[in-house]
Amino acid sequence: MAKRLTDLIIATLTLILTLPVALLTALAIRIRLGSPVLFKQRRTGRRGRLFDFYKFRTMTDERDARGELLPDDRRLTRFGQLLRKSSLDELPQLINVLRGDLSLVGPRPLLPEYLELYSPDQARRLEVKPGITGWAQIHGRNALGWEERFELDVWYVDHRSYWLDWKILLRTLPQVLRSEGISRDDHVTMPRFTGAKEEK
């Protein structure tokens, strides 16, 4: 109950305080990338429940001759990279928090097709509501490999508490300001999870 109340209060205040920035960001995206301004994608929440996940759009819709979307590194513009580096693209997720899809703190919500690829231990990340930030985010974010990321998610599930959430929130802000862990060295976005054990 305290966690949900904290989510509602902080998300509401943050939405109000960042509204001018969000509106300017939306306008810039409309001018630079066109419509739609928001990127919507199905993700999995607690116990595998599906929900619509929102972010500001950072990529073009460029396609090849067959109508297939080009690879992420071909569609991510410098403007999109700036949005990601500043984490401005994540502001719409506060709407997900108000709706109850996300918490401020928890494992990041992933794609539905990953559900059948999780090991039993990895699937334990679904025991809690996903979050905007989390234990894995403050320990490397997208620069982590999948195995390490899942280990940190499960550690959070086992050790979660109201005070741990506050510790994570307080450590998230300086990490965002330093733009750490936005992507891995070999990918502009997080590579897809295949279920195969990664090499260290």
- Chain segment 80-105, per-residue pLDDT in tens: 999 998 899 999 999 999 999 999 99
pLDDT band of 112, cuts 50, 70, 90: very high
Instruction: Decide if 190 is inside a domain.
Output: no
Task: Give the model's pLDDT for residue 90.
Answer: 94
Instruction: Decide if 120 is inside a domain.
Output: yes
pTM for the structure as a whole: 0.87
Q: What percent of the chain has pLDDT over 90?
A: 68
Number of domains in the chain: 1
Instruction: Decide if 184 is inside a domain.
Output: no
| Residue 69 near residue 61, CB atoms below 8 Å | yes
Structural domain boundaries enclosing 114? 2-177
Task: Give the model's pLDDT for residue 196.
Answer: 59
Q: What is the mean pLDDT of residues 143-164?
A: 94
Task: Give the model's pLDDT for residue 77.
Answer: 87
Task: Give the model's pLDDT for residue 188.
Answer: 56
Return the residue matching tokens 């097709």: 113
Task: Give the model's pLDDT for residue 130.
Answer: 97
Task: Give the model's pLDDT for residue 179.
Answer: 67
- Rounded CA-CA distance 81/182 in Å is 9
Strands (E), the chain: 38-44, 50-56, 103-105, 131-133
Task: Give the model's pLDDT for residue 11.
Answer: 97
pLDDT at 67 over 90: no
Instruction: Decide if 8 is inside a domain.
Output: yes
The CA distances from residue 74 to 27, 67, 81, 104, 194, in Å, are: 23, 15, 12, 31, 22
Instruction: Decide if 182 is inside a domain.
Output: no
Task: Give the model's pLDDT for residue 66.
Answer: 83
Instruction: Decide if 78 is inside a domain.
Output: yes
